[in-house]
Structure 1
């Protein structure tokens, strides 16, 4: 067995996602399992190089996890020939320029979404990576959630018959920051800093819909800033200039209609923070982060509308759970493994910067739809 060390620049590692999901639960978890086997006797050993703006925070993370390489100098890290992969989990507004630097330096790039603040910028990154001959990928973690994998199993098995519609509910109450600290950074609520729930979540909905049900053909969206004032990390009030809720209708190829509500100003009355209900001619299912329940056509009850009497049906009890049928790893880690195998074993991988550009496109057109008050066609992106 040959161990090959792979130095990976991890930019934005002091943020919540960069720290917890990508550093700890992905790259360090790969080290805990002895590295990543490539099937030819080689095991990749990730060696993170922590990159960010706050020296003290980087040093503290490095000390906590026994890492030695960290820097506030991105250009210097990218100039190091020993660094082969660049990963970006920064704030959206900083991502495009950093990815452009990494591509120009000849690094393979893997990034959180959205990849850029505009479709033109996202496509320019994808085409630059292709021209440079570097491997490139975008995090599309929802596809690896146990609940959506179970839903995919039902789809692949033909359970639904003809799929009719998809209904999604996502969100939770993000505290304003005055009497309880907010669970999300303040930049998320400032449009000038790349914030907004459309920019954050529509790229997710694009790849979920595209991969499971078909390409999005049209979008119609209504956005709102339900909480107009919030308090930042220093306890100072600021005006929320970005949307904190979005109500979208998406028409997919094949005629499937999807409705997805996204909100940081909603209190949860469902089993999980995100749920998708899929209805088809032969059956229905409700999938969340981990679980998935289904109801077949033959087991569908026959309710009759009568507001004068209590319903005789316990509707939620009439659904069955899709069994696990195997272990599910952390979704971020699972996609890291696929991307590293793509880079170092040339394994197939299609969640690239062009796929990421589709998400940016849908967010851009969703905001335009909300501004203009109309349904907008979503053209297919030319690679």
Structure 2
């Protein structure tokens, strides 16, 4: 009797599972030939108050043969009162489902930074199909100009902008890499300001320049960093180890290739004393170019000259940040993290930062004058 009941129960369970599967609706999966992949997203600000956002999607068009050369792209552009509405409308302009799983670059037009870009950031963070490790940048003068640029070096099925940021293509001291999750942290966190790379399309959209950056604070004020300041920022945040430094004064004139660099600092705040940020910079490199005859016996003198040049550049950059009330390094976050918490730490740092004195210690060691002795 027990065996008969056990067999009946097993049959009932099997029939229930089969019946459940039969009445279930189809899943959300779509074949790859029913999808079109979004490689990058751009958002520009318009002068239309009713439709303030201009959304640009760069789509990859699959090639029929691997032997076909050249990049194949198409673009969808729509103005709307919100980004989600614009994308919903753009879906009606293509016969395939828009797939954002490969959208690894998000560009804001320069004008966006002067408005409430937090609302735009919120959209990208809430969508589960947009990666939080996507790179964020600023298109100048607009995101559309940069996204529609198609450099001659761009290969079919790839995206030139990916190679700028993923460190597998170009490696440069002038490229600032900002991820979406880090951008959000900097926007919401008190004590550190967002910094974004600036991308500019040139030569009839056949070349993209990426050698500057821009800092924006919570007042929507911006500070554009030139090439030297961008390189110094990357150095101070330990984002690079290799960089080139031009040493030029009355006695020497040469270029140093730094192979290893490390930066650390500490905040010194004592009652009734001026706050100090003491920063130590350690560098090791070689001379790679010189407009003079170099002597291996004078490596210590060349090292000292390099140290003075780096110290001067670092001090100028930090002073520029302080003067404009910008803090992309995150000194304010370090201050709050190394003090007992209370509700006034951020206000304390806001009053201390303008009074901070920077003490920079640079130790540059040159190992060689190059292969030419």
- TM value normalised by structure 1: 0.29
Greater strand proportion: 2
TM-score (norm 2): 0.29
User: Which has more radius of gyration?
Assistant: 2
More contact order relative to length (CA 8 Å, sep ≥ 6): 1
